[in-house]
Each structure stands twice: as C-alpha cells, then as structure tokens.
Amino acid sequence: MSTHVYELFMIEVGVSSPEKLTQLMMFCHENGIIVPPISANPFKQITVGTEKKLPTKVFKGFCGPENLNSAGKASVSDVCEFIKTYARVHKLTNADSSIELPPRMQEAFNTDKSRYYPHEFVYLAEKAFPS
C-alpha cells in the first residue's frame, strides 16, 4: 500500500477574458484542483439591469409568481438574486462557487450548459427574457 502526501501551495494565474476564466475553472474542477471562490466578474464592473420586463413563459413557470412583481415582470437584477437563492436553497452550489443547473433549470433559462460560475450569472439571468 502506498501513501501519497501532497503539499499545499497557491499559485496566481492571469486570464484575459471571462470565457478563459470559465475554461480554467472547469479544468480545475475536472482535475480536483481546489480554487477559492470568485464572487464577481474580475474583469470589469457590470451594471445589472433593474428595468422590469416580462420574462419568457418557461421562466415564469419555473420561478413562480412570487418571484415576479404584480405585473408579472422582473429585472435582470431580480433574476440574478433568484439564481443565487435557488442555488442555495436547493444545494446546487459547488466548492468553487459554481452552480449546477438541473435539467428543469436549464430549460427555464434555455441553455444546454449545466455549470455556471458567479461571473456568468448576469448572462444566465439575461436568458430569462425574450431576445
């Protein structure tokens, strides 16, 4: 029987775009490399829309009327908060702060992608509205 001892060390990695960050995070996850949580987009400040608009019927059915205003509308900001809350309540959050989207949630957001990182939540939230 052999025993493996691993030394803990930290490295700093620079990436040039959100897409490359996503690729790096996926690589780390797939290879068992632990990455500290990234709470926001490290590339630029994003202004999240607060304008209330009608989401898609599929998203409305998924989120329920309690997550929309009295006119049945929500903002991108509202949907971002819904994503975070839903992920926490349903224990969809991974150690690297990414969330796993179950099939029903993928359908609600019209996406084939099953893993999203915090810096991508705004882009995911935008999918709740018609183009």
Q: What is the pLDDT of residues 25-47, one digit of tens each?
A: 888 888 887 776 665 555 555 56
Span 42-74, pLDDT tens digits: 555 556 778 899 999 999 999 999 999 999 999
Has residue 13 been placed in a domain?
no
Neighbouring residues of 111: CB distance < 8 A, sequence distance ≥ 6: 101, 124, 127
Asked whether the predicted pLDDT for residue 18 surpasses 80, the reply is: no
The count of domains in the chain is 1
Distance CA 100, CA 88 (A): 11
What pLDDT, on a 0 to 100 scale, did the predictor assign at position 22?
A: 78
Has residue 6 been placed in a domain?
no
Report the CATH number that the domain containing residue 27 is assigned in CATH.
Answer: 1.10.245.10
What pLDDT, on a 0 to 100 scale, did the predictor assign at position 26?
A: 83
String of DSSP letters for the chain: ---------------SSHHHHHHHHHHHHHTT-------S-SS---PPP---B---HHHHHHH-GGGS-TTS-B-HHHHHHHHHHHHHHTT-B-TTS-EEPPHHHHHHTT----EE-GGGHHHHHHTTS--
- In angstroms and rounded to an integer, the radius of gyration of the C-alpha atoms of the chain is 17
Has residue 122 been placed in a domain?
yes
- pTM metric for this prediction: 0.66
Has residue 23 been placed in a domain?
yes
What pLDDT, on a 0 to 100 scale, did the predictor assign at position 11?
A: 65
**What domain range is 71 assigned to?**
18-126
Q: Which residue has the higher pLDDT, 4 or 72?
A: 72
Counting Cβ atoms within 10 Å, is residue 73 exposed (0-12), middle (13-18) or buried (19+)? middle
Structure tokens at 48: 């999240």
106 pLDDT tier (thresholds 50, 70, 90): very high
Asked whether the predicted pLDDT for residue 13 surpasses 70, the reply is: no
